[in-house]
A = this chain, B = another copy of it.
């Protein structure tokens, strides 16, 4: 089933890229460029797979599948400007390859094209209205998430609830909306659509937490990231925020952690030392267990929602397997 859907998506992406205007090239080349960089196309796969819970035929969901992929790419292009990121999927980011203005404008066009794909997709009126409403709300949530992320980078202390809300908005609601949109197009009831959304949201949060965990406790090199990269970058992950909270019971431990956070390393030896030291503190407060517990919590919440979905249980299992396979260490 999956390779089949993946082929459909690839073909649709290809067709869309070809159908784009050529002029002005500064507007359309970056869109083709971003789409050519690939990725796992998780979000469009979510749309089609959720649709398939209700209907064998997914043709009607293809435009919306493309729309969420395009929206995702729009967020990458604009986020990369804000984060000053030079590399995306191993290639120069749009603002790096062209310039900031091109990245702002071509991003804007991607956003409009995403909406256009949905609006023009000849869905039944009531479904169209629901899909658009889901999409718009999601889009606003994602922008809020990005703004919170930017804010939290600057702020000294953020709490676990704040962090969870941020990753929910920045990452999880797009997965949630993709599933809900696919379901709606397939003919899901409002109830089912809500459960699919909750499933996607909680599984999205679980996997972001797992991503945080794997940075420190994952196998070296396996995930295309340097182990401990988040520690070096002082990234406010679940592990760091939680460890800071837990270390507060011991002034000495807390002080040690804060000192390490204060150090900006400039060479490999210092970096490794920092990773080892922070990991020691993480081990001491048993952060791995704590994080795994949190992952389990959201994972379980997700499954509970999926169970409530009124669809064939084999198909639901397929969806769950797919989700877990696709989302493992997504970058």
Contact = CB atoms under 8 A, between A and B. Distances in A.
- Contact-size category for A: 35 or more
A109 interface: yes
A312 interface: no
A108 interface: yes
Contacts of A120: 133, 136
A38 interface: no
Interface stretch (A145-153, A218-226, A235-243, A265-273): A145-153
Q: Is the interface of A mostly helix, strand, loop or mixed?
A: helix
A250 to B, nearest CB: 33
Interface in A125-150: 125-126, 128-129, 132-133, 136-137, 139-140, 143-144, 146-148, 150
A136 B144 CA distance: 23
A216 interface: no
A3 interface: no
A128 to B, nearest CB: 7
A78 interface: yes
A82 interface: yes
Given A78-B104, A116-B140, A132-B132, 19 more contacts: A24-B148, A24-B151, A27-B147, A78-B105, A81-B101, A102-B147, A104-B104, A108-B108, A109-B143, A109-B144, A112-B136, A113-B140, A115-B132, A116-B136, A116-B137, A119-B133, A119-B136, A125-B125, A125-B128
